[in-house]
Structure 1
Amino acid sequence: MKKWIISFLLLTVAEVCLSQELNFTVIINSDRARIQNTDVFNQMKSSFEQFLNGRSWTSDEFRPEERIKGNLLITINEVPQVGTYSATVQVQVVRPIYGTNYESLIFNFADRNWSFDYIESQPLEFNRFSFLNNISSLLAFYANITLGLDYDTFQENGGDEFFAIANDIVNNAQQSGRAGWTQSSSDQRSRYWLINNIYTSSVFSAIREAYYLYHRQGLDILQVQPEKAYENIVKAIRIVSEANDAQPNGILTITFMDAKGEEISKILKGAPLELRTEAVELLLKVDPNNARMYNELLRS
């Protein structure tokens, strides 16, 4: 009987381990807030990591080594009153490339307008269909954006179910009146516009195909089929450029280039000159601020 109980417990633990999909590190910088007692930020870090990493976000099984790695970099700008915080958030997510030790940055997003209320040791709950607080909504939003983009890199439109949840989170959070959740012309780099570009915009949702082409049909096969890989990477850039032509400076276009620009300038150095030339022409239109970096591709 005892052996059976132990076996059952071990199986249960194994199933729990397999069901956790995220492996986020939360880093909180409170220097700007000038608060002497920083214990609350240590508790905050632990609570946020537990919320992201300690629950099941999907029905799929993930082994520990398959969990999606990410960083949540929180800068506390000010504490207007006890328990109330104003912050900016940087979300970074990486994806392993098949057959290599390389991890490719797939998401690098700066959320500049987050305010929240936090009480030490408060439990964080999440409900897809209602707004509970501005912490769990933001964390759950980026958890689903992370899952959606990661799944998109492995299968065309593979992230649909997660983007649908992220869209629900935005719709529910609008009632809160908090910044970042509503359609505001003054804040184009918001959660509202991010999910709008990914999930509801016919112009920018095409960039999701670029994520798949670039990673699954590009980087993942670069070691064994370099010619095809380079062609697909440039095709992905072409899709992003076409979206930018249709509607310049969309947040998903900027987000794609923020994550991939530097990598592209290194990866394509081994591509044929014809593909490099086309890529540079496209890149200079979609990301002119990094013109010098892209022009180096023509000197390789």
Structure 2
Amino acid sequence: MTGFRLLVILFIFTQAVQAQELNFTVTINSDRSRIQNTDIFGQMKTSFEQFLNGRSWTNDEFRPEERIKGNLLVTINEVPQVGVYNATVQIQVVRPVYGTNYESLIFNYADRNWTFEYIESQPLEFNRFTFLNNISSLLAFYAHIALGLDYDSFASRGGNEFFAVANDIVNNAQQSGRAGWVQSQSDRRSRYWLINDIYVSTIYSSIRDAYYLYHRQGMDLVQVDPERAYQNILDAIRLVAEANKLQPNGIFTISFVDAKSDEISEILKSAPFEIRDAAVKLLLEVDPNNARKYNELLRS
């Protein structure tokens, strides 16, 4: 092999690595499945990780250290027949904070209603405009939610193109009649309502603004300009509270506080009392279940 050809191959390989945006770890919890041959779950893990991490989801270049980290925990609740699985999925996505080794949790979500078919060595493909199966649709949906929220955290409304794809995935999957994709008032934690609240409805649009204000203008500035950072974090919380007043207990609101409640309780401990006091009043309206946690901020 000539030196020139080697350089070309290395260049192509490097570009391919840079183009991969996600770095997800998939865990399959099969304790409830009662299946003796658990090798299928190892294959499932590898297949899901390859689908998420081994393809290009954007036209942007990512260095390996820039890839978006996440965890996908699939809990197999039941195997009603061979090759059919009823499961719940927990998705977590983190974002680095500028100038630190700290990673901020930006998405923490439980998808409680997923039924899918999987066979050994099953190839997984994705088409934005066609429903192929319930595995690739769900994985691609959350890949684009992760991308959208990450981009929103770095630029105001920066995730639009990814949320548009996620919305297309939902619209296509509705034709399958599968749970989680269709509009249902009895299942407000579905994929349908998640993308509706994030992207389609204008009621919760201020929460997307909060993502940018909280992370890029807040967390990223704590080390260099704490006064400004704390004020921006408070303003972000206020935007979430405003959305919650328009329509209480929306799934986008809930997913924000599920990801941020512990972090807010820690990061604001060093903020001036007036910031903490104003933040607690807002948080008690949005997330009263964590009242004890927030009230501790007033004792710091």
| Coarse TM-score class (shorter-chain normalised) | over 0.9
For residue 60 of structure 1, give the secondary structure of its aligned residue in structure 2.
Answer: coil
Q: Aligned runs of 1:187-202 on 2, under 5 Å?
A: 187-202=187-202
Matches of 1:31 and 1:7 in 2, distance apart?
Answer: 48
SS of corresponding position for 1:110: strand
| 1:84 and 2:84 are equivalent in the alignment | yes
After TM superposition, give the deviation of residue 3 of structure 1 in Å: 1.0
- Aligned-partner SS, 1:255: helix
SS at match of 2:187: coil
Give the distance between the partners of 1:32 and 1:188, measured in 2 at CA. 26
2:290 equivalent to 1:299: no
- Alignment of 1:69 onto 2:89: no
Aligned residue for 2:124? 124
Deviations 1:175-232 (A, max 9, x none): 0010000110111001000000000111112100000000000000000100000000
Aligned-residue Cα RMSD (Å) equals 0.6
Q: Deviations over 1:154-175 (max 9, x none)?
A: 0000000000000000000000
Q: Write out aligned runs for 1:90-101 (5 A).
A: 90-101=90-101
In the alignment, which residue of structure 2 is the partner of 1:148? 148
Counterpart position of 2:266? 266
Query: Which residue of the partner structure matches residue 224 of structure 2?
Result: 224
**Letter in structure 2 aligned against 1:211:** Y
Q: How does 1:99-110 map to 2 (within 5 A)?
A: 99-110=99-110
Match of 1:256 in 2: 256
Instruction: Return the TM-score normalized by structure 1.
Output: 0.99
AA of the residue aligned to 1:114:
W
Aligned to 2:57: 57
Code of the aligned partner of 1:106: I
SS in 1 for 2:205: coil
Report the AA paired with residue 201 of structure 2. Answer: S
Taking the aligned partners of 1:165 and 1:181, their CA distance within structure 2 comes to 14
2:58 equivalent to 1:37: no
> How big is the shift at 1:129?
0.3
SS of alignment partner, residue 107 of structure 1: strand
By how many angstroms is 1:2 displaced?
1.1
Query: SS of the counterpart of 1:80?
Result: strand
Farther-moved stretch of structure 1 (30-39 vs 131-140): 30-39
Q: Match of 2:46?
A: 46
2:121 alignment partner AA:
S
Distance in 2, matches of 1:33 and 1:109, equals: 22
User: 2 CA distance for matches of 1:71 and 1:273?
Assistant: 35
Q: Partners in 2 of 1:32 and 1:238 — Cα distance? A: 42
Equivalent in the alignment of 1:170: 170
Q: Residue 31 of structure 1 aligns to a residue in which SS? A: coil
Q: Do structure 1's residue 238 and structure 2's residue 235 form an aligned pair?
A: no
Q: SS of the residue aligned with 1:125? A: coil
Question: Cα distance, 1:262 vs. partner?
Answer: 0.7
Cα deviations across residues 136-171 of structure 1 (Å, max 9, x unaligned)? 000000000000000000000000000000000000
Structure 1 stretches of 5 or more lacking a match? none
Cα distance, 1:36 vs structure 2: 1.1
**When the two structures are superposed, what TM-score results if normalisation uses the length of structure 2?**
0.99
**How many residues are matched?**
300
Q: Moved runs in structure 1, 4+ residues, more than 4 A?
A: none
Task: Give the partner amino acid of 2:196.
Answer: N
> C-alpha separation between the residues in 2 aligned to 1:205 and 1:29?
35
Structure 1 residue 282: Cα displacement: 0.3
Identical-residue share of aligned pairs (%)? 75
Q: What is the deviation of 1:4?
A: 1.1
Matched to 2:195, the amino acid is I
The CA deviation string for residues 27-49 of structure 1, in whole angstroms up to 9 with x for no partner, is: 00000111111000000000000
Q: What letter is aligned with 1:180?
A: G
